[in-house]
């Protein structure tokens, strides 16, 4: 494997790189500087650091340090301000990202402080059941803390909480002939 020879970028390479980083496409740059698209790519490559393991490691460490710095800032803000949870949320996201970059992530566990603070809502089934009991016992009815004793008291003589089904009549319009 041959060693990479690092070339020093020219002033024109620097201009091409600045225009490219400002958002211009390779084709537009090739037209403006009257060179081929391949030459524009080479000019950009000469301005960028070589893609080596050492440079990748430096960039990785730099990003981790940035996350640590900004995380420390938001951690201090979150600890100082108990009423505003936005700082804690931002810190949790930054910490989550830093952990993911370091390989400390869990597949199933996601930290979401806002979801953890939300009061647990009743399920759809519980809402429907409560609505039925409010119809039966009146609008002031509230769910009891001990459902077993409530249901045992509410059962009829046959031992079931619900009335037994009635037999369908012969003139039932909703009944199909196949039944």
Cα–Cα dist 59/33, whole Å: 31
Cα–Cα dist 178/90, whole Å: 62
16 within 8 A of 33, measured Cβ to Cβ: yes
Q: What is the largest CA-CA distance in the chain?
A: 96
> Is 60 exceeded by the pLDDT of residue 139?
yes
> Is 80 exceeded by the pLDDT of residue 13?
yes
> Is 80 exceeded by the pLDDT of residue 32?
yes
112 within 8 A of 88, measured Cβ to Cβ: no
Per-residue pLDDT at 176: 60
Query: pLDDT tens for residues 144-162?
Result: 777 777 777 766 544 555 5
Query: pLDDT tens for residues 69-123?
Result: 999 999 999 999 877 789 999 999 999 888 888 887 666 555 566 665 666 777 8
Phi/psi for 118 (5° steps) reads -70, 135
Cα–Cα dist 6/100, whole Å: 33
Per-residue pLDDT at 12: 94
Query: pLDDT tens for residues 45-80?
Result: 999 888 889 988 998 999 999 999 999 999 999 999
């Amino acid at each position: 494997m041959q060693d990479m020879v690092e070339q020093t970028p020219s002033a024109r390479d620097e201009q091409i790189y600045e225009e490219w980083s400002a958002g211009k496409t390779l084709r537009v740059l090739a037209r403006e500087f009257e060179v081929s698209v391949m030459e524009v790519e080479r000019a950009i490559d000469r301005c960028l650091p070589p893609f080596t393991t050492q440079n990748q490691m430096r960039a990785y460490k730099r990003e981790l340090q940035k996350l640590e710095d900004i995380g420390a800032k938001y951690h201090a803000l979150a600890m100082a301000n108990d009423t505003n949870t936005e700082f804690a949320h931002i810190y949790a996201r930054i910490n989550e990202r830093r952990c993911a970059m370091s390989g400390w992530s869990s597949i199933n566990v996601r930290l979401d402080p806002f979801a953890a603070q939300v009061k647990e809502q009743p399920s759809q089934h519980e809402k429907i059941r409560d609505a039925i009991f409010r119809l039966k016992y009146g609008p002031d009815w509230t769910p009891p803390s001990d459902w077993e004793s409530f249901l045992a008291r509410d059962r009829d003589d046959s031992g079931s909480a619900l009335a037994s089904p009635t037999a369908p009549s012969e003139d039932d319009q909703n009944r199909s002939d196949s039944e």
